């Protein structure tokens, strides 16, 4: 199997599994009666939700092969590379910005109050783990984030900023 086909299948594997489950349970709901039909319809709905989430996750992934490695463990985002690196606690994140890079290699800039910003290439090894971190941020618009990644912006784009109460 050619490497690019293998990489595409690996990237979209969750979507493929989700669609197989949707087809299987849709067939089951159409070919059964009574209580079994209702159970199959409910499971089909759950499979559709899973497939939708899998499509978003696959759109976020850039395939790896980039500079450095990302690790998300116990509420901390860590980035390791020979030139830079650092850690930011997920609860302390104040903003997420998509920075344009040379030759279309964009980076995430994750800011936290009182810390040095963490800059991570979109295609860093393990960067797909950031999807779960970003989706967990209150008020983040997932579709906006995915559109900005695809559009490859030529200027910095703030994807999310923490809302802070201003006392007057």
Domain boundary among 60, 79, 107: 60
Q: Provide the number of structural domains found in the chain.
A: 2
**pTM (predicted TM-score):** 0.74
Q: 28 near 39, Cβ under 8 Å?
A: no
Domain-located, residue 167? no
What distance in Å separates the CA atoms of residue 34 and residue 40, rounded to the nearest whole number?
10
Between CA 47 and CA 40 the distance in angstroms is: 10
Q: Is residue 49 part of a domain?
A: yes
Token pair 């290439």 in the structure block, residue: 121
Q: What is the pLDDT of residues 22-72, one digit of tens each?
A: 999 999 999 989 999 999 999 999 999 999 988 888 887 776 677 889 999
Residues 63-119: pLDDT tens digits?
667 788 999 999 999 999 988 889 999 999 999 999 997 776 888 999 998 889 999
Instruction: Supply 86's token pair.
Output: 């650092």
CB 27 within 8 A of CB 12: no
Asked if the structure places residue 166 within a domain, the reply is no
Q: Which long-range contacts (CB under 8 A, 24 or more apart) does 115-121 make?
A: 115/86, 115/88, 116/86, 118/77, 118/79, 118/86, 118/87, 118/88, 119/79, 119/84, 120/68, 120/70, 120/79, 121/66, 121/67, 121/68
CATH number at residue 91: 2.30.29
Q: Which residues of 43-67 are buried (b: 16+ CB within 10 A; e: fewer)?
A: bbeebbebbebbbebbbbbbebebe
Same structural domain, 76 and 33: no
Specify if 106 maps to a domain.
yes
Q: Which domain holds residue 124?
A: 69-161
Domain final position from 60, 81, 106:
60
Is there a single domain that holds both residue 92 and residue 144?
A: yes
């Amino acid at each position: 199997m050619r490497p690019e086909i293998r990489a595409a299948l690996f990237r979209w594997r969750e979507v493929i599994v989700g669609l197989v489950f949707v087809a299987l349970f849709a067939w089951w709901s159409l070919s059964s009666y009574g209580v079994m039909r209702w159970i199959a319809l409910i499971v089909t709905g759950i499979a559709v939700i899973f497939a939708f989430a899998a499509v978003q996750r696959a759109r976020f992934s850039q395939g790896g092969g980039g500079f450095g490695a990302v690790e998300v463990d116990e509420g901390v985002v860590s980035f390791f590379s020979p030139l830079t690196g650092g850690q930011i606690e997920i609860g302390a994140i104040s903003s997420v910005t998509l920075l344009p890079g040379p030759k279309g290699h964009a980076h995430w800039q994750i800011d936290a109050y009182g810390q040095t910003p963490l800059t991570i290439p979109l295609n860093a090894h393990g960067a797909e783990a950031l999807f779960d971190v970003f989706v967990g941020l209150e008020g983040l618009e997932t579709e906006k984030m995915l559109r900005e990644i695809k559009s490859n912006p030529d200027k910095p784009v703030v994807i999310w900023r923490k809302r802070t109460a201003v006392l007057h």
